[in-house]
Structure 1
Amino acid sequence: MKKTPLYEKHVSLGAKMMEFGGWMMPLQYTGILQEHEAVRQRAGLFDVSHMGEVMIKGRGATEFIQKLITNDISGMREFQVLYSPMCYPDGGTVDDLLVYKFDAQHYLLVVNAANIEEDVEWIESHKPHDVEVEDLSEQYAQLALQGPKSQKVLQRIVDVPLDKIKFFRFVDGVNIAGVSALISRTGYTGEDGFEIYIPADGACKVWDTIVDAGAEFHVMPAGLGARDTLRLEAALPLYGHELSPDISPLEAGLDRFVKLDKPDFIGREALIEQKGSGISRKLVGLEMVDRGIPRQGYEVQVEGRSIGYVTSGSFSPTLKKNIALALIDVRYAAQGSQVDVIVRNKALKAEVVKIPFYAKQYKK
């Protein structure tokens, strides 16, 4: 079981630890509801050092990444971040990732923790001779400071004007307590916030510095439990749930990140065909009408017939409702449609609703 550089810190804080993607990670510290609320109202600090970082360098770097991903990086500026799925030839999803552009010959890909080895192998297998691929995952630690007070907290300990960093932009070489950091205005909670990349050996120092700076605002350490309820409310996909080798980005409702008109990329033909013939299933939001919490894998039915399954589900601390994302037959995907979710062998009523469930509070 892998451990992040902050493992001992989590244990000393009394975190309840759990296995996630081969890593021992904090599920919660004080409690999922309290940590969720802290992020929505003030700020929460997450250890996301389990995420993977892959450096792509060389003359052919831009063209190579264009071939790997479904989104279009041709219009990216330096120090911009781009979200994109990465697909197999059949349109299924290898992973979803972030692309950080330093310049036309230098990029950083941030990939999901459970997929690091497979992603690196996939990327390496398509690498041209004029591109260098390096897995830097073990060298990086990553923290996420998320919530409406995150800028105020972080501004106390950095000398760059954070207000100048727009959403999905980043700055590099920022000094935090003597540690050099890359800071991006990105996150996975639906709130404004920052993701901070630092050398692994500086993780504890930066963590403590942020906690001290945030004491006045009651910034809380937050675990994977709150991370999951926050991202679910914002309807942000989680690989292995809303995306997988069996689920295409089009089925997951990520059409805006699939640029079928750009030059050839892996999976393009399959996705063009899927778009042309129309997808047969679609990711939708569900709100429970009957009492019961929908969980991943629960069957969704109409009149006793299976029409799909729940990909993620939980009680929503912000909305005080039971909600889910589900991949269902497109014929039943219209808002207002009534369906049943099978919870412990009982058919409980749910309604298809608009997503995201929670209005995202991103800085423009």
Structure 2
Amino acid sequence: MGHSILDVFWRFLVLGCYSFGGPTAHIGYFHKEFVERRKWLSERDYADTVALCQMLPGPASSQVGMSIGFERAGLPGAVAAFLGFTFPSALIMILLALGYSEISGIPAAMGILQGIKLFAVAVVADALIKMGQSLCPDRPRITLAVLSAGAMLLLPHVLTQIGVILVAAACGFVIYQNQSAGENTAQVKGSKRQAFVAMGLFLAGLLALPFMVELSDSTSLSLFDSFYRAGALVFGGGHVVLPMLQAEVVHPGGVTPDAFLVGYSAAQAVPGPMFALAPFLGGVYGGTYSISHALAALFGIFAPSFLLLTAAWPFWNRLKAMPKLRAAINGINAAVVGLLLAAFYNPVITLAIKDAQDVALALLAYLLLAVWKLPIAWMVPLFAGMGFLLI
């Protein structure tokens, strides 16, 4: 077990150092590393994991990482995956918080970032094609995926995402309930006691933290409460959480609008989870530039996801083995492919592709990644350099 935990931590630490491109790209990186290369999960189990994380509030890509760690090495593996994947971006954002006033737009840095965005287009495209081939093998599931993508593109709202998943689950239940027995391959981990404790802690955090803040003058506790609430109540991850964070820290006057925008821009430029914006905002809160405030914000925003996943894992692994629920999951998996397809267009393509040169570089990235199988660790610096030279 100890070796597995260290292995989980190391693999996610390496990913956390170069996983640029946002949550959709992260799902692509995870797919290539843990499904294709290391075969820690099957294609179906990975899709099930993505489906679960799409249905819970919080940062979806980080939740997928925690779930992979959990499947590999239990609860300690989930902690190891979170710490490894989050550490590089959190460290960078904390350091930026300590000297954020010196940050300014540098043309060379913008070119490097553009090159990395184009590589992320290839990563997401590769994952989408492989997941689509595996999870949408027939006309009904292809139809569900396309309709899900269309709905999300026309009505880009968290309620649309939830509605798409529910409708796809109902369709899958009707279409596949006689075809789904015996398809679950994941081992059952976790315990009901563990799940109930985690759910109790999650609810206690929502209900008790505001009263604790009232009785205390601790800024760290207040920040933990604010970011805990944001992480617990926001579906859709990264960009969706921004309005709530702005309401929690900017409108009360703790963070200036300029600092908020600097942090938001920096969070898009670094690898790892978009929620790494949290330690930056905590670090600059009130002009104190405090590491303790940064850590309070960091663990506050991720704690709800960890507790909810801990509560869900034992029941999810048991329930998804049931034929009727398995049938519904077939529909959900098709919808997840559609949701990722919508995210591939917006924001991945809309933010990365600006002209014909960008299209050409993205196609080159796909050729090197999917056909010539170059390691991702080589391709990130390659396309960063190309962005620096050409864009």
Question: What TM-score, normalized to structure 1?
Answer: 0.25
Select the structure that is richer in strand.
1
Select the structure that is richer in helix.
2
Report which structure shows greater RCO (CA 8 Å, sep ≥6).
2
